[in-house]
Structure 1
Amino acid sequence: MSLAPAAERSPQAQLLKRMFDAAVASALASRCVPPQLPPAPRGRLIVIGAGKAAAAMARAVEDHWPGELGGLVVTRYGHGVPCRSIEVVEAAHPVPDAAGVRASERMLERVRGLGEDDLVLCLISGGGSSLLSLPAPGITLEHKQSINRALLGSGATISEINCVRRHLSAIKGGRLAAACYPARVLSLLISDVPGDRPIDIASGPTVADPTTCADALEILRRYEIELPREVAASLEEGRGESIKPGDARLARSQTRLIATPQLALQAAAKVARDAGIAAHILGDDIEGESRDVGTVLAGIARQVARYGQPFERPCVLLSGGETTVTVRGNGNGGRNVECLLSMALALDGHPGVHALMGDTDGVDGAREIAGAYLAPDTLARARRLGFNAREHLEQNDGHGFFEALGDSIVTGPTLTNVNDFRAVLIEA
């Protein structure tokens, strides 16, 4: 991970950087996949999967599986890893494309006709929702693309967005596991969602879905998303209903969480404590508007700095989850840099408070930038350069702001994803 030269010289930035690195490392496929591999089946092993970590997970399976295997996984463009026997396909994220549609079709073909002695190993991680983009009958890719874009800018939570995705899909919402029946299915999940709910990780392609078409329609109407006639009809008539709990086709399907936001925060906390600084995890599933979360974190940091409440300083406050951004402007945003910029404005140069926020997959929003670093002099440096932090926030231009200061965090694809990482350091 790279930071600007000035930040590299700061011991506070270096500590926060090591914590972020530890959080990412805790969720790397090479570390968390091998211990979870099952015994060899009597029949065939077919490996399938989707997500930003899918190719890295497939490679970890190949490196540690003693027998024959084959399969197909789909990952985000630029996140591919060479595999010997498992085919790796790349497709678009966060807005789906035709490559994801074709990969989904081929994945369903690979698992049809399996027997009871066969085992399907399904490797699921964040990003799989858009990568498994096969539309439900009567719905087009263009329909899904327009609705996805609208939802991403609406302020809807990831759980709400994924509810809609499941009911516009021919592969998510348990349908992939149903297609594998009667083979046994074992899904290894790297969680990128608040609460670690399997139904929301890649929109639950291998788990039962208790939500309904009516739920999806209510979400779309609440956020005033314009619906094509075909989509509205499909949801109103219940044609896009997902696989429900109790469906016999899922009786032989099992899921295991192998990496989570909480484990990542614990790994970061250990780095801080090894450096002699107390670390406190505020929560691994914090949601809400990014700028609101930033304001709240600033308030907690000021209370710690001023009164030693609720924690004595020095300390680090850690949190994860997935905040949302209601798009108002046309800047280069991202939920982590929006949160950080909001925090900077609320702190107003408060001495002794540093912060690092980033997405553990290395991509915050649509930019190939993980996040950014905040120092006590961030706003002062911005003013000297003629940048108005408030205007950048109103334009959802967190990346533009921190890039101009040289305080962006660039990691490249980390090949994993356990969601947002936020660390606030309050000095003694």
Structure 2
Amino acid sequence: MIPSDFLKSLFDAALEAADPFKAVPPYLPEKPKGRAVVVGAGKASARMAQAVEAQWGPCEGLVIVPHGASLPCEGIEIVEARHPVPDEAGVNAARKILALLEELGPEDLALCLISGGGSSLMSAPANGLTLQDKQLLNKLLLESGAAIDEMNVLRKHLSAIKGGRLAVAAAPAQILTLAISDVPGDSPSIIASGPTVPDSSTVADALSIIERFSIDLPDHILDVLKGPDGETPNADHPAFTKAQTHIIAAPQASLEAAAAVAKRAGVTPIILGDAIEGEAREAGKVMAGIATQINRHGQPARGPAVLISGGETTVTVRAKPGKGGRCSEFLLGFALAAWDNRAISALACDTDGRDGSEHNAGAIWTTQTHAKATRDAAYTALANHDAYSFFEGIDGLVQTGPTHTNVNDFRAIFVETTDEN
């Protein structure tokens, strides 16, 4: 067995399990007799829109995707916008979505296609804020070390569309949301900052996060947050009486699909969890320790094994950053911790096909890449948040292009053991 081929086959299986074209149809009702408007945002939304039109035929609507992730649809307009920092294209498209939904009546349907990345792509600043304010907010959040659910609390309370406000715009129409989860726990209120579901967070929660992570927001943004429109609609709002939400693809299903491939190959799969969070480099160290335990002692698996996990780690920027993202930084932390063990290989990739600042899905660590690496270069890259350059230099990058789905990070660690272990 070639470890690199095996690890990539697991990643392929994870992606296939999250293919929107397969995931959407089971949740689609018959096309309604009234007006049906399809809207959405996220890295998977164009593929989701294609799946809808494959069932319903040409539809009215608009979805927003990252640059380079567009796919052709017959009726639904696809708009490309910037991610993870919002741009004017995303703001204009978000306003157009709000205008479309505000036209709907009680016999109409708003079909909302939501996936990871939608929070930045579908950006409508709250009254009193500008696009530049939202860009600054996103930059500060990405550098803060806050988890995705904490980031989204702030995004919701400073938005005209997130945190259930899209549902308010669509009322009194029926609202059906199909969501692909990219967040730990699969909470619809966190995916793309929950534009069509009630929000249980408060302004007080947002202020607590600002204080905890020392996020230096300008006074005028704080004034809007504390203002009369700062609170988001909760479960008692009448807009949600005709709203339904379905999670149609999620990280756990992708992990299980990868585990099935491993089993067929005679490798014991161990799913560590679909909601692993924390500092990327530290998570890498921990998983290297688990892999070493299996390799040395054959516990908790005898024979070859693969550790499979998902979730979303974070990178707290401690220096002027180089190139890379949380998957490559996780793998670099892992590689340094497992440096002297040639029986352990690993892959860490983002299922959307893009890890952080560059256009790679992630990276892979095997005996072949190890042979081209030096420990000094690895330490330097980790200190500078420059994992992309490190793996580029040892032919360790994994390139997929846009996958048109997103169920968060995928990590697989292959442990070769002797029969005696």
Distance in 2, Cα, partners of 1:41 & 1:397:
51
Alignment partner, residue 34 of structure 2: 43
Q: Which runs of 5+ in 2 are unaligned?
A: none
Alignment partner, residue 264 of structure 1: 254
Structure 1 residue 17 and structure 2 residue 4: aligned?
no
CA contact (8 A) 1:260 1:418 kept: yes
Relative to the length of structure 1, the TM-score reads 0.95
CA contact (8 A) 1:50 1:73 kept: yes
Shift, 1:387, TM fit? 5.8
Shift, 1:84, TM fit? 0.9
Alignment partner, residue 253 of structure 1: 243
What residue identity is the alignment partner of 2:264?
D
CA contact (8 A) 2:59 2:74 kept: no
Distance in 2, Cα, partners of 1:427 & 1:379:
16
The within-5 A match list for 1:29-428 is: 29-66=20-57, 69-329=59-319, 330-376=321-367, 378-383=369-374, 388-428=377-417
CA contact (8 A) 2:352 2:405 kept: yes
Shift, 1:235, TM fit? 1.9
Shift, 1:94, TM fit? 0.3
Alignment partner, residue 3 of structure 1: none
Distance in 2, Cα, partners of 1:387 & 1:280:
32
- What percent of counterpart residues are identical? 52
Distance in 2, Cα, partners of 1:339 & 1:297:
10
Shift, 1:119, TM fit? 1.0
CA contact (8 A) 2:44 2:116 kept: yes
- Cα deviations across residues 153-196 of structure 1 (Å, max 9, x unaligned)? 11100000001000110000001011111110100000000100
SS at match of 2:246: strand
Distance in 2, Cα, partners of 1:372 & 1:267:
20
Distance in 1, Cα, partners of 2:189 & 2:225:
19
- Cα deviations across residues 226-257 of structure 1 (Å, max 9, x unaligned)? 11221111222353211111111111010000
Shift, 1:388, TM fit? 1.4
Shift, 1:40, TM fit? 2.4
User: For structure 1, which segment, 226-235 or 124-133, has the greater mean C-alpha deviation from structure 2 after superposition?
Assistant: 226-235
Distance in 2, Cα, partners of 1:397 & 1:311:
34
SS at match of 2:316: coil
Distance in 1, Cα, partners of 2:220 & 2:303:
57
Distance in 1, Cα, partners of 2:252 & 2:211:
33
Distance in 2, Cα, partners of 1:211 & 1:86:
33
Shift, 1:313, TM fit? 2.8
SS at match of 2:185: helix
SS at match of 1:153: helix
Distance in 2, Cα, partners of 1:349 & 1:269:
27
Distance in 2, Cα, partners of 1:349 & 1:372:
19
Q: Runs of at least 4 residues of structure 1 off by over 4 A? A: none
Distance in 1, Cα, partners of 2:22 & 2:270:
25
SS at match of 2:126: coil
CA contact (8 A) 1:103 1:132 kept: yes
CA contact (8 A) 2:276 2:312 kept: yes
User: For structure 1, which segment, 288-297 or 55-64, has the greater mean C-alpha deviation from structure 2 after superposition?
Assistant: 55-64
Label 1:291 to 1:238 Cα distance change in 2 as closer, same or farther (>3 A).
farther
SS at match of 1:94: coil
Q: Which runs of 5+ in 1 are unaligned?
A: 1-9
CA contact (8 A) 1:354 1:424 kept: yes
Shift, 1:279, TM fit? 0.7
Q: What is the aligned-residue RMSD (CA, Å)?
A: 1.3
Relative to the length of structure 2, the TM-score reads 0.96
Distance in 2, Cα, partners of 1:313 & 1:379:
23
CA contact (8 A) 2:166 2:196 kept: yes
User: For structure 1, which segment, 320-329 or 235-244, has the greater mean C-alpha deviation from structure 2 after superposition?
Assistant: 235-244
Distance in 2, Cα, partners of 1:192 & 1:78:
19
Distance in 1, Cα, partners of 2:244 & 2:152:
21
Shift, 1:78, TM fit? 0.6
Distance in 1, Cα, partners of 2:309 & 2:228:
38
User: For structure 1, which segment, 137-146 or 353-362, has the greater mean C-alpha deviation from structure 2 after superposition?
Assistant: 137-146
Shift, 1:380, TM fit? 4.2
Distance in 2, Cα, partners of 1:387 & 1:77:
36
Distance in 1, Cα, partners of 2:192 & 2:257:
24
SS at match of 1:281: strand
Distance in 1, Cα, partners of 2:31 & 2:46:
21
Shift, 1:333, TM fit? 2.0
SS at match of 1:382: coil
- Cα deviations across residues 84-125 of structure 1 (Å, max 9, x unaligned)? 111111101000011111001000111113122111110000
CA contact (8 A) 1:379 1:389 kept: no
SS at match of 2:74: coil
Shift, 1:379, TM fit? 4.1
